[in-house]
């Protein structure tokens, strides 16, 4: 899970069975804020452990390029080698568990990091949009055809505290519907996309 908070607010506590969230600092942000590295981390999170060769096939990049970016992700603690699997010539990598959070106001006094924030935000939004576009373009059958929801409420008027509370409550709802990692998987279950954007909207006549 990636969480982006444009303003500096306390993060919603993670459920007890989840690993702690990782709040990006300037160094780790620079290590992640690259389109290919973000794609590789997504691949490992969504599809499980893999090798540089397999990831090269899925991304269309060379194995050498993939290996370099994987090492970079590992150096910053986003992925780790899966021990006991593979060989010296074929290393398996897996994503480190835990949500990644970014608070843009952490970097207001760091011009270099602000550039990395822009890259991270743009790529994160692009990837979120692409997941939705892929789902809408797919051919679904049976109950899956009407199981989703795409909607937006763009004219609410809320205070900063109310907007924060709304986001926290929505995150809590998703947490309640998230199956336990150790529970048996329902054979009818499929991977699902849940995206939440809770943001203030600029008005032309107000700063």
Q: CB–CB of 185/179 below 8 Å?
A: yes
What per-residue confidence (pLDDT) applies to 86? 67
Q: CB–CB of 93/50 below 8 Å?
A: yes
What per-residue confidence (pLDDT) applies to 89? 77
Mean pLDDT over 116-121 rounds to 94
SS3 81: strand
Mean pLDDT over 149-160 rounds to 92
pLDDT tens-digit map of 59-68: 999 999 999 9
What per-residue confidence (pLDDT) applies to 142? 93
What per-residue confidence (pLDDT) applies to 58? 95
Q: In the predicted model, is pLDDT for residue 79 greater than 50?
A: yes
Q: Choose between 8 and 180: higher pLDDT.
A: 180
Q: Residue 116 burial (CB < 10 Å; 0-12/13-18/19+)?
A: buried
pLDDT tens-digit map of 10-50: 344 444 456 678 999 999 999 999 999 999 999 999 999 99
Q: CB–CB of 24/105 below 8 Å?
A: no
Q: Can you give the pTM of this predicted structure?
A: 0.79
Interhelix angle 52-59/63-75, rounded to 10 degrees, is: 120
Q: Choose between 20 and 117: higher pLDDT.
A: 117
pLDDT band, very low/low/confident/very high, at 166 (cuts 50, 70, 90)? very high
What per-residue confidence (pLDDT) applies to 111? 85
């Amino acid at each position: 899970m990636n969480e982006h908070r444009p303003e500096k607010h306390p993060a919603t506590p993670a459920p007890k069975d989840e690993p702690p969230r990782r709040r990006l600092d300037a160094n780790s942000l620079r290590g992640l804020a690259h389109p290919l590295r973000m794609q590789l981390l997504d691949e490992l999170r969504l599809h499980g452990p893999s090798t540089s060769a397999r990831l090269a096939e899925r991304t269309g990049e060379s194995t050498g390029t993939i290996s370099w970016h994987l090492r970079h992700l590992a150096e910053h603690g986003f992925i780790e080698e899966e021990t006991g699997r593979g060989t010296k010539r074929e290393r398996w990598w897996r994503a480190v568990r835990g949500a990644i959070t970014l608070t843009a106001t952490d970097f207001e006094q760091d011009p270099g990091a602000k550039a990395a924030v822009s890259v991270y935000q743009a790529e994160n939004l692009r990837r979120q949009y692409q997941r939705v576009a892929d789902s809408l373009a797919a051919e679904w059958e049976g109950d899956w055809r009407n199981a989703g929801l795409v909607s937006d409420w763009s004219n609410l008027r809320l205070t900063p505290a109310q907007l924060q509370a709304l986001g926290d409550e929505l995150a809590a709802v998703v947490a309640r519907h998230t199956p336990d990692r150790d529970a048996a998987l329902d054979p009818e279950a499929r991977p699902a996309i849940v995206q939440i954007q809770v943001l203030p909207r600029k008005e032309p006549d107000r700063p």
